[in-house]
């Protein structure tokens, strides 16, 4: 090949333009649906916009600086809601979205292919069912006799009956969300396990491992990247999704018993008990959530040594 | 360890992986499974390893039927074409893995891993990950991992296919040497007949899931029992010509059109009884271009191989390959005379593909 003259500025620009061109569609979507809303929310959180002084004209909104954040810090329920959120996210993530998802993937990978496939297909159902319908099923399961399905068994067995959503609200909130959460990790883990080369799986058995030892020493270490992805994605997803809790307990049964941060943002901004929607104050809750999410994502990347995972591959020389 | 395979069959639904294989491998023997891609070599090897359960038939290691034993109960070492090194473990951990699974003491693992690594010439790579090694180095690690637990049987699945030609030559010698020194019964799967010929004590030739022949390299080369074996073993491959073999008062000839070749009694007697449906096979090195040749032909292509030339000549439009001296400067279109060494000619029944000489 002939030697090229040193790249001129124009050439560099042109090369970069192509790259930006390819990035543009995704970039524009991120800007419109993520960046701009976040900036708007940040601005809103520094106003006292509410039902009483509602306006759509940004310039007429009353700027109050960090006032809303100061109120939030003094909010007597903020602490309880914060710890509710931590509890809800950690428990759902640990038991369902990661552990159960892993167990289901590993189990269904070790049984005949078709059976495994059918089993996993059933686990997808909660995810593709509309939230309202899905939660109706849980309510039907949990409510007081004579309608509640669990209570019908209790009656049959001459046991006392309960309204389970009052008696055990967290269990039901976590299960209802967890069973949806499982399917995501399950899909990711299953395809990750399937993409481990067959030779590697066979080599481990020939080297003398049991099935369990193969899971521990070969499969699990090779799942580090999908594990990072699922933990990160599902943490953020659990932090921000509230519709199931809204429909199941609406934060109850008692005052803020199962209220989580994102649900509070919704309640304050859009559905205040007293008919006074506080957009500004609700936005402050939402911004705190964004900050927590970003911080967590960075921490996860550190813990799972993301840099190593995306290290440049070595060029093959024999 | 002696290995005996009886009527071994593996089916994947309707697909036949391997069917009705029977062969016995002596203690310390080096056996190659040779055959084209998809003929069931890997399937057979994985049955020996215990990864696949046979559909029917038995496998014996020594006197023990191992059909129902899991891989870990068989004490085998295996080397894969893809190397199959664990990417998240260092070379040290890769080689030590089979020992760790045996709950061996750290100190003993350390001694054994170092000893094997030094034998394989990878003692200085122990801290590296597989991704930081060249193909040849990875293959050595894989070999080390297979050897470290002192297996009774070594299985190789096309271990050299991913290496470049030169390295393949080196590794070929090393593996053969190592196997000879250690005396471990070895089964070596390959589609490369040069590998099989140079390394193995005996070769099992397979095609379409069936065992075609099981014999020493010399026997397969000089006395092929089927048309398939004759065509598959040897490079460049054997030439095949349809002929009619006839006898007249103790004199045997093979004829095709106006080509007529005299045969000795040993070569001609049996084919003469088979009538006109005979395929004659003759290897390229058994045909010469000579002034006193009897068969006229035309040079079609000359391929220089360095040491000799591979010449494609045409007899009545039919292609025949032969090896010629590089000094004899043949050119496309030259008219030449061919001399056949008929004492090396093979004869097969064209319908059954069976040899008429070595039934
Ligand atoms: N796990 C499997 N499922 C279905 N068919 C298979 C499987 N493994 C091998 N086969 C089929 O069995 C035949 C032999 O395959 P294989 O033993 O891999 O051939 P080779 O190693 O000689 O190239 C092929 O037709 C292949 O498609
Ligand atoms: Mg194969």
pLDDT mean for each 10 residues of chain B (359 residues):
94 93 95 93 95 95 93 94 93 96 94 93 92 91 94 94 87 91 94 92 93 93 92 91 85 84 84 82 92 88 90 89 87 89 91 86
Among all residues of chain A, which has the CA nearest to that of B132?
A314
Residue B282, number of CB atoms within 10 A of its CB: 22
* Cβ partners under 8 Å of residue A102, min gap 6: A185, A189, A223
Exposed, middle or buried: residue A155 (CB in 10 Å: 0-12, 13-18, 19+)?
middle
- Render pLDDT for A91-100 as a digit per residue (tens, 0 to 9): 999 998 899 9
- Amino acid B73: pLDDT: 93
| A63 lies in some domain | yes
Q: What is the 8-class DSSP label of residue B238? A: P
In the prediction, which pLDDT does B122 show?
A: 92
Q: How confident is the model at residue A309 (pLDDT cuts 50, 70, 90)?
A: low
Residue A310's pLDDT is: 61
Judging contacts by C-beta atoms under 8 Å, the chain A residues touching residue B170 are: none
Mean pLDDT of A89-109: 90
Indicate whether A306 pLDDT > 70. no
pLDDT of residue B260: 84
**Which pTM does this prediction carry?**
0.79
pLDDT in the model for residue A181: 86
Residue A203's pLDDT band (cuts 50, 70, 90): very high
Please work out, in degrees rounded to the nearest 5, the angle formed at the alpha carbon of residue A94 by the alpha carbons of A89 and A98: 110
Closest C-alpha to ligand 1, atom 11? B17
Using an 8 Å Cβ cutoff, are B153 and B3 in contact? yes
Closest ligand relative to B38 C-alpha: 1
Beta carbons within 10 angstroms of residue A180's beta carbon = 24
Total domains in the fold of chain A: 1
For residue A274, what pLDDT band results from cuts at 50, 70 and 90? low
User: Is B81 in Cβ contact with A199 (below 8 Å)?
Assistant: yes
Residue A66 lies in a domain: yes
For chain B, the straight-line distance linking the first and the last C-alpha, in angstroms and rounded, comes to 31
Residue A23 within any structural domain of the chain: no
**A205–B72: do the CB atoms touch at under 8 Å?**
yes
For the sheet containing B64-65, what is the strand order?
B15-25, B3-12, B56-61, B64-65
Residue B253 and residue B203: Cα distance in Å, rounded? 33
pLDDT score recorded for residue A317: 42
Q: Supply the DSSP string of A139-197, one letter for each residue.
A: HHHHSPTTT-HHHHHHHHTT-----HHHHSHHHHHHHHHHHHHHHHHHHHHHHHHHTS-
Tell me which DSSP letter residue B347 carries: E
Q: What is the DSSP string of B184-213?
A: -EEEEEES-HHHHHHH-SEEEEEETTEEEE
pLDDT score of B118:
92
Give the H/E segment covering residue B303. Answer: strand B295-304
Min Cα separation B199/chain A (Å)? 23
First to last CA, chain A: 25
Could you tell me the pLDDT band of residue A122, with boundaries at 50, 70 and 90? confident
Q: Which of A69, A21, A24, A65 is nearest to A43 (CA)?
A: A65
Alpha carbons A66 and A289: distance in angstroms, whole number: 16
| Model confidence band, residue A272 (pLDDT cutoffs 50, 70, 90) | low
Chain A interface test: which of B12, B52, B84 (most A C-beta within 10 Å): B84
Task: Provide the domain limits for residue A64.
Answer: 45-309
- Distance separating alpha carbons of residues A103 and A105, to the nearest angstrom: 5
Cβ neighbours of A220 in B, within 8 Å: none
Residue A174 makes CB contacts below 8 A (sequence gap 6+) with: A88, A91, A92, A95, A96
Handedness of CA A116, A118, A121, A126 (dihedral sign): negative
Question: What does the pLDDT read at residue B287?
Answer: 92
Q: Above 80 in pLDDT, residue A147?
A: no
Average pLDDT over residues A178-198: 89
Angle formed at CA A167 by CA A161 and CA A169, multiple of 5 degrees: 130
For A133-144, write each residue's pLDDT tens digit. 888 888 888 777
**In this structure, is residue A13 part of a structural domain?**
no
In angstroms, the CA B54 to CA B321 distance is 42
Read off the pLDDT of each residue in A158-181 and give the average, rounded to a whole number: 82
Region A219-247: mean pLDDT is 86
Instruction: Express as a percent the part of chain A with pLDDT over 70.
Output: 92
Q: How far apart are alpha carbons B33 and B202 in whole angstroms?
A: 9
Neighbours of B110 (CB within 10 A): 14
CB contact under 8 A, A207 and B97: yes
Binding site membership of B133 for ligand 1 (Cβ less than 6 Å) = no
B51–A202 CB contact, under 8 Å:
yes
pLDDT at A316: 46
pLDDT, residue A156, reads 80
Tell me how far the alpha carbon of residue B79 lies from the centroid of ligand 2, in angstroms.
12
Residue B70 CA to residue B60 CA, distance in Å, equals 14
List the strands of the sheet with B202-207, edge to edge. Answer: B76-79, B153-157, B185-190, B30-34, B202-207, B210-215
B104 neighbourhood in chain A, CB within 8 Å: none
| Residue B23: partners with Cβ closer than 8 Å, 6 or more residues away | B5, B31, B204, B211, B214
Q: What are phi and psi of B113, to 5 degrees?
A: -60, -45
- Residue A74 predicted with pLDDT over 90: no
CA distance B160 to B135: 10
Ligand 1 atom nearest residue B189's Cα? 21
CATH of the domain at A117: 1.10.3720.10
Asked if residue A300 belongs to a domain, the reply is yes
Please provide the average confidence, as pLDDT, over all residues in chain A: 82
Per-residue confidence (pLDDT) for residue A1, from 0 to 100: 44
Are B50 and A217 a contacting pair at CB < 8 A? no
Of B71, B102, B135, the CB nearest to A318: B135
Residue A39 lies in a domain: no
Query: Is residue A70, in this structure, part of any structural domain at all?
Result: yes
* Domain presence at residue A234: yes
């Amino acid at each position: 090949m002939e030697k090229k003259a040193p790249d001129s500025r124009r050439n560099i620009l042109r090369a970069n333009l192509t790259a930006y061109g390819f990035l543009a569609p995704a970039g524009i979507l991120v800007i419109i649906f993520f960046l701009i809303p976040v900036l708007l929310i940040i601005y809103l959180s520094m106003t006292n916009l509410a039902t009483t002084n509602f306006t759509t004209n940004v310039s007429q909104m009353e700027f109050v600086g960090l006032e809303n954040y100061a109120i939030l810090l003094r909010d007597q329920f903020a602490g309880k809601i914060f710890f509710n959120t931590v509890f809800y996210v950690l428990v759902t993530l640990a038991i369902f979205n990661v552990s159960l998802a892993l167990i289901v993937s590993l189990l269904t990978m070790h049984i005949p292919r078709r059976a495994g496939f059918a089993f996993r297909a059933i686990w997808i159902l909660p995810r593709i069912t509309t939230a309202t319908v899905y939660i109706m099923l849980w309510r039907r399961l949990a409510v007081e006799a004579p309608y509640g399905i669990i209570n019908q068994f209790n009656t049959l067995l001459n046991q006392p009956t309960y309204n389970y959503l009052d008696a055990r609200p967290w269990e039901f909130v976590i299960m209802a969300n967890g069973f949806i959460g499982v399917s995501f990790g399950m899909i990711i883990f299953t395809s990750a396990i399937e993409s481990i080369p067959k030779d590697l799986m066979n080599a481990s058995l020939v080297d003398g491992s049991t099935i369990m030892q193969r899971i521990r020493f070969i499969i699990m270490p090779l799942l580090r990247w999908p594990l990072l992805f699922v933990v990160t994605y599902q943490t953020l997803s659990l932090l921000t999704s509230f519709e199931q809790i809204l429909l199941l307990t609406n934060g109850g049964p008692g005052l803020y018993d199962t209220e989580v941060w994102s649900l509070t943002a919704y309640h304050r901004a859009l559905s205040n008990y007293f008919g006074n929607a506080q957009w500004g104050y609700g936005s402050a809750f939402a911004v705190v959530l964004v900050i927590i999410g970003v911080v967590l994502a960075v921490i996860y990347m550190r813990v799972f040594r993301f840099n190593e995972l995306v290290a440049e591959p070595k060029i093959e020389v024999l | 360890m002696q290995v005996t395979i009886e009527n071994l069959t593996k089916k994947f639904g309707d697909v036949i992986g391997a069917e009705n294989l029977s062969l016995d491998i002596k203690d310390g023997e080096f056996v190659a499974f040779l055959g084209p891609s998809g003929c069931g070599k890997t399937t057979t090897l994985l049955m020996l390893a215990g990864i696949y359960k046979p559909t029917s038939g038995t496998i014996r290691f020594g006197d023990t039927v191992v059909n129902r034993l899991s891989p870990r109960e068989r004490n085998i070492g295996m080397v894969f074409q893809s190397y199959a090194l664990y990417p998240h473990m260092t070379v040290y951990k890769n080689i030590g893995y089979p020992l760790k699974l045996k709950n061996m003491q750290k100190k003993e693992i350390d001694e054994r891993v170092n000893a094997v690594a030094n034998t394989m010439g990878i003692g200085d790579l122990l801290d590296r990950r597989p991704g930081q090694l060249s193909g040849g180095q990875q293959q050595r690690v894989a070999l080390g991992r297979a050897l470290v637990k002192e297996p009774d049987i070594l299985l190789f699945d096309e271990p050299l296919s991913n290496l470049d030609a030169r390295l393949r030559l080196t590794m070929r010698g090393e593996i053969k040497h190592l196997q000879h020194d250690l005396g471990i019964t070895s089964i070596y799967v390959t589609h490369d007949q040069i590998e099989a010929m140079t390394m193995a004590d005996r070769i099992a030739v397979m095609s379409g899931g069936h065992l075609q022949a099981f014999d020493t390299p010399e026997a397969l080369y000089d006395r092929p029992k089927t048309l398939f074996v004759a065509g598959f073993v040897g490079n460049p491959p054997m030439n095949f010509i349809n002929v009619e073999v006839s006898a007249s008062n103790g004199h045997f000839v093979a004829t095709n059109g106006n080509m007529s070749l005299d045969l000795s009694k040993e070569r001609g007697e049996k084919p003469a009884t088979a009538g006109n449906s005979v395929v004659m096979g003759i290897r390229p090195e058994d045909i010469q271009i000579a002034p006193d040749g009897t068969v006229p032909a035309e040079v079609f292509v000359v391929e220089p191989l360095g040491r000799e030339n591979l010449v494609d000549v045409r007899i009545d439009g039919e292609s025949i390959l032969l090896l010629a001296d590089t000094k004899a400067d043949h050119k496309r279109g030259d008219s030449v005379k061919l001399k056949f060494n008929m004492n090396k000619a093979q004869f097969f029944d064209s319908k059954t593909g069976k040899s008429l000489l070595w039934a």
